[in-house]
Amino acid sequence: MSTSDPLWTITCEPGADLAPICQALQAAGLDVVEVLDIIGVIQGRCPAAVVPKLAAVPGVADVAPTLGFQLDPE
């Protein structure tokens, strides 16, 4: 993994224990950047080719690219 890989947002099923999901995502090839327990979201980087493996992890509800934005400096 590298910082040039896309950032992905993984939404977990409601009430899921994120620790084992996070471990399974790492084993599938995700470089975890942040775990947001309160909202059931894990963010990380990996090549797009790894996304089907991430989506197949039990407890994962959705995998989507993390969209960025930039405010106008004025």
> What does the pLDDT read at residue 68?
75
- C-beta atoms surrounding 41 within 10 Å: 17
> What does the pLDDT read at residue 21?
98
pTM for the structure as a whole: 0.87
Domain assignment of residue 71, yes or no: no
Domain assignment of residue 74, yes or no: no
How do residues 41-63 score in pLDDT, each as one tens digit?
999 999 999 999 999 999 999 99
How far apart (Å, rounded) are the C-alpha atoms in residues 70 and 62? 25
Alpha helices in the chain (DSSP H): 18-28, 51-55
Domain assignment of residue 21, yes or no: yes
Cβ pair 9, 64 in contact under 8 A = yes
Domain assignment of residue 1, yes or no: no
Number of domains in the chain: 1
**Average pLDDT rounded to a whole number, residues 11-24:** 97
C-alpha 38, offset from chain centre:
15
> What does the pLDDT read at residue 70?
66
Range of the domain at 15: 7-64
Q: Is the pLDDT reported for residue 1 higher than 60?
A: no
Domain assignment of residue 52, yes or no: yes
Domain assignment of residue 69, yes or no: no
The domain spanning residue 13 has which CATH number?
Answer: 3.30.70.260
